[in-house]
A and B are shown apart, each in its own frame.
Chain A
């Protein structure tokens, strides 16, 4: 007769604590394949989140919301107890929006590397090769680098070997077929006009331009000619 492992734990408090952290087999399989983006609509668009052990790409011009998408992914990874890193070209991180700063209960878990554009790929290579990092974001800001394909191949191999999700954020698509998933963001600012103008946020349209090994879930519009997309609304703090 099978016995539940939790029945063997005599202390009910410990059993409750353990059961709070247990996940079902289905959830485990899902977790192994995808990593939540931190945004429900994007999770639906990408079939569960960013692919694990692979490169993913977020592209969009200025004020398209890609920094917020990266921040959401890092925030949810930190909340899950994973070590995360952000390679930040130009050191543009918002102090008030940084995941490790904004939530004192979480504690310092974000490895933040400020660098110049030419150093970014080497820095992200080092971080991924160290192993143990769940999510690593490479924020290229507006940098225009001529990055050889070999660099992406090497980074993809390292990410696969270490089981790390690498998010590359840039103004235009760069990874091409090296990305397992890619979304393109385009946004329009929203101003409250019932008085003096007040910036309220961005209305963003996120288009899925690439998603390897993905079957569109129910409820997400699909069209062979038009990539599926979702709308997001980002609100401004001020």
Chain B
């Protein structure tokens, strides 16, 4: 089995640099706060080291040594997000990945079909993908975990030969310090005059084990390319997480949206690497001084557009702002696979599912998710009851069986509903409604010469009234609430009238049998 090892030196610093990509070109260092002591530099980039910055310096000392040094404070959120993103580098190429500190391992045997040029092409592709996620990674491919680890530590890009003697020859010139982090062990080998793996490989393994213990024996075996470390890969987690802890509390939505933009971009980049899209968002906001604001942001369809996600989150925040300033943002994205659809030769090509999904998400952000869908009947006897069901994204989006369109001479009117029905005043005589009175916007007299400003009329005469038509239903339910959701269950009894009003329109109105009030249902059109 061939194993790829991806090694990201100074992962904590690189994880912090992911949220400030512009700082990658300048000297940067990572500070860690330990107890009540001053923050100390623990990790630094090459430019900072060249400028004289060293681990253990305080922030002031480091700034004095390198004035344009960018300092980052280590946070748990950055560390978690960085580690998860490193795993995603592996999940972009293999279904299971083993993580070990700053390294990940995954099997690369099956990638031969995608990269017929060989292991070097695979390693280059892995390195390029890591760079897209914001990591400067070292990649090595070998037949064992230990060999891959040592090769990744020694080279930017390495392919260890598959044969044992070839691997042994590859490892021979490497210093012993690459094989173990135990300084005492390295010093012991140095005392013996064995500074390279090739020299260690000449020693009898049993004698090394007798004098240096299991750790020394492992180094000896590895220097002979005989390592037997077990590969223990794991499946990816169900959700993908990105987080950031803010340096100061944020009170307004716009600055928060700026932070969220980076989180969404990074999350979608990771999902795209695994050929996935985002099917739902959970946002966990840490509030000052304490508390959490957890909110779910539903998506109409999986999307890969950061703009759409951001718009939905922004709308949700505007609708229900956090109760306190935000000091940390944790974003959890639900991955989903975007299904490909097969077009039908006999049907018109409908909208592309990916674009349609993004469009539905944008429409949902614009008008609300409950207002986008396909009309669906409600289990109710009420004439106005209707709901919007989820719009199918793939096979049912167009008709199941296309037919030649045929014009018809049988034309049906439809009722243009007011939802919910609007309460109006009705003057009744012995034949039924005689006059209507509503709000300023209820009735209008159309004037073609003043199209932009129709004349509002409050009252109208009824020229002809047809009715009443008595309807009732759902008497087994509780009492109705006509002002609120008309699809809500509840008993109702109504007397309907079709009235031809003096503005020329034919309205449908009803009188509630319980309250005696009149409601305008709409007009025929």
Task: Name A's B-contacting residues (CB within 8 A).
Answer: 18, 21, 23, 36-43, 61-68, 71-72, 76-83, 90-98, 100-101, 105-116, 119, 122-123, 126-127, 129-134, 141-142, 144, 146, 171-174, 188-189, 191, 196-199, 201-202, 232-238
Contact = CB atoms under 8 A, between A and B. Distances in A.
Interface stretch (B7-15, B107-115, B235-243, B517-525): B517-525
Contacts of A129: 359
A18 B366 CA distance: 42
A82 B405 CA distance: 11
14 contacts: A38-B407, A39-B411, A63-B506, A68-B413, A68-B525, A72-B408, A81-B347, A83-B350, A92-B522, A107-B400, A126-B362, A141-B416, A142-B444, A199-B466
Interface stretch (B91-99, B120-128, B379-387): B379-387
B493 interface: no
A56 to B, nearest CB: 16
B503 interface: yes
Given A122-B366, A126-B363, A112 B466 contact: no
A152 B416 CA distance: 25
A92 B417 contact: yes
A146 B377 CA distance: 34
Given A62-B523, A94-B414, A201-B413, 19 more contacts: A36-B407, A65-B413, A65-B525, A76-B406, A81-B398, A82-B398, A92-B416, A95-B375, A95-B378, A97-B412, A107-B400, A108-B392, A111-B374, A112-B372, A127-B359, A132-B349, A171-B451, A173-B451, A197-B464
A238 B523 contact: no
A129 B465 CA distance: 45
A73 B398 CA distance: 15
Contacts of B522: 92
Contact of A38 (B408, B415, B500): B408
B374 A110 contact: yes
B371 A113 contact: yes
Contact of B413 (A78, A111, A146, A235): A235
B407 A119 contact: no
Contacts of B504: 61-63, 188
B356 interface: yes
A189 B506 contact: yes
A218 B396 CA distance: 40
B182 to A, nearest CB: 60
Given A108-B396, A113-B372, A83 B351 contact: yes
B371 A91 contact: yes
Contacts of A174: 451
A27 to B, nearest CB: 9
Contacts of A18: 346
Contacts of A126: 359, 362-363, 366
B401 to A, nearest CB: 8
A97 B383 CA distance: 11
A197 B465 contact: yes
B474 to A, nearest CB: 16
A101 B414 CA distance: 13
Contact of A113 (B363, B392, B413, B498): B363
List the 10 closest A-B pairs by CB distance, nearest first.
A81-B402, A132-B351, A172-B451, A97-B414, A62-B505, A95-B386, A67-B525, A130-B359, A108-B374, A61-B446
Contacts of A43: 407
A144 B452 contact: yes
Contacts of A101: 375-377, 386
B441 to A, nearest CB: 8
B230 interface: no
Contacts of B348: 80-83, 134
Contact of A234 (B346, B359, B413, B469): B413
B171 to A, nearest CB: 56
Contacts of B402: 21, 79-81
Contacts of A66: 525
A93 B359 contact: no
A142 B452 CA distance: 11
Contacts of B399: 78-82, 106-107, 109
B405 A146 contact: no
Interface in B309-339: none
Contact of B374 (A39, A68, A109): A109
Contacts of B367: 113-116, 119, 123
B466 A21 contact: no
Nearest to A108: B374
Contacts of A196: 466
B378 to A, nearest CB: 8
A62 B408 CA distance: 23
Contacts of A235: 410-413
A38 B405 contact: yes
Nearest to B380: A95
A212 to B, nearest CB: 21
B373 interface: yes
Contacts of A171: 446, 451, 454
B136 to A, nearest CB: 39
Contacts of A238: 469, 498
